[in-house]
Amino acid sequence: MAAQIWYENDGDLSVLEGKKVAIIGYGSQGHAHALNLRDSGVDVVVGLRPTSKSVEFAKEQGLEVKSVPEAAAEADIIMILAPDQYQAKIFKNDIEPNWKPGTALAFAHGFNIHYGYIKPSEDHPIFMVAPKGPGHIVRREYAAGRGVPVVVAVEQDPRGDAWQITLAYAKALGALRAGAIKTTFKEETETDLFGEQNVLMGGINHLCDMGFDVLTEAGYQPEIAYFEVFHELKMLVDLANEGGLNKARWSCSDTAQYGDYTCTVINEETKKRMEYQLKRIQDGSFAKEFMDDQAAGAPKFKALQEKFSHPHLETVGPKLRAMFSWNNQGVKDADEAQSFNGQIARTQVQ
């Protein structure tokens, strides 16, 4: 069955007229949601702790900023954009004691609703608008008159208007310019975690670093190894993004294609491991492990961050990336974004 996709004419911004939207958190997604909605004519307030460094970031952009309890108390729609591990505490301490009856609660990821860390009463609409791109791109594309696609879902619809609110919010974000795909909190959460763990992060990152190790341990120059197992990856991903896997294959030599078909290290054993990881996502084991570690002060997470923060291929990475002039502006933008996001990640609602 084909997915249901909504576009620009399917959303009605008048649904948000007279409504106050509270954006909780001013991180990567938070700043994009707040600014895009504001520029679409929506009444927006950003909820942060008064001591948060993000307060000044938001005020400099002309946004109204209040404490999380104050923002929640006056909002008709509350979008929680703090990191997953902090959302339940924010909801329990700052939102639930203060929000009005029937206030809609929104998310950009289904984690806390799907796994039951947040359980709003049944009189509140619960919906999701999840951009398929980082916040700085969501903001950039909106400003350019375009949009980043989103997936949307409704978990609770006590009044029968949750889908109208969801599509109006997606339109204000600029997402309906590109399209909004209907999903569920369960589907979005489980597929998102699976993709991160098995392909996008846990797959590519380790595959590249391991390939670098195999070549350098065999005596090849690190610079050459870096080019072959990491640098050219972007070119293939760009081609695949433009025209699918076949365009990426057809753009390479016959030799490369033949090796792709016959010599891959990704096999049925890899698939079995992926299936095991999917089961841990589906039964909540991964979520519990992550949340329990976070609740204990994140000792395992911090140890793993340190362990994997110095991949071997980065011994030559900075030097080689500097060779490509077309990367220089991207490196500058990335450094600025990392600095900005690093500050607000540490101070999202603190």
Distance CA 348, CA 350 (A): 6
What local confidence, expressed as pLDDT, does residue 89 receive?
97
User: Structural domain boundaries of the chain?
Assistant: 5-184, 196-329
Backbone dihedral region of 342: left (phi > 0), alpha (psi from -120 to 50 degrees) or beta?
Answer: alpha
Please state which of the ranges 56-60, 204-208, 275-279, 319-323 shows the lowest mean pLDDT: 319-323
Distance CA 346, CA 350 (A): 8
What local confidence, expressed as pLDDT, does residue 331 receive?
47
Binding annotation for NADP(+): 26-29, 49, 52, 54, 135
Reduced to 3 states, what is the DSSP secondary structure of residue 132? coil
Distance CA 349, CA 81 (A): 10
Reduced to 3 states, what is the DSSP secondary structure of residue 263? coil
Averaged pLDDT score across all residues of the chain: 91
pLDDT digits (tens, 9 = 90+) for 225-268: 999 999 988 888 889 888 998 898 888 888 989 998 998 899 99
> Taking a C-beta distance cutoff of 8 angstroms, is the pair 287, 111 a contact?
yes
- Mean pLDDT over residues 334-342, rounded? 46
Chain centroid to CA 341: 13
> Taking a C-beta distance cutoff of 8 angstroms, is the pair 135, 173 a contact?
no
Residue numbers annotated as active site = 109
- Mean pLDDT over residues 282-298, rounded? 97
Q: In sequence order, which residues have a C-beta less than 8 Å from that of residue 18 and are 6 or more positions away?
A: none
What's the CA angle centered on 287, arms 281 and 288, to 5 degrees? 125
pLDDT digits (tens, 9 = 90+) for 31-85: 999 999 999 999 999 999 988 889 999 999 999 999 999 999 999 999 999 999 9
Tell me which fold the domain 5-184 belongs to: Rossmann fold (3.40.50)
Residue at token pair 């000044």: 56
What local confidence, expressed as pLDDT, does residue 248 receive?
87
pTM of the predicted protein model = 0.87
Binding annotation for substrate: 253
Distance CA 109, CA 80 (A): 9
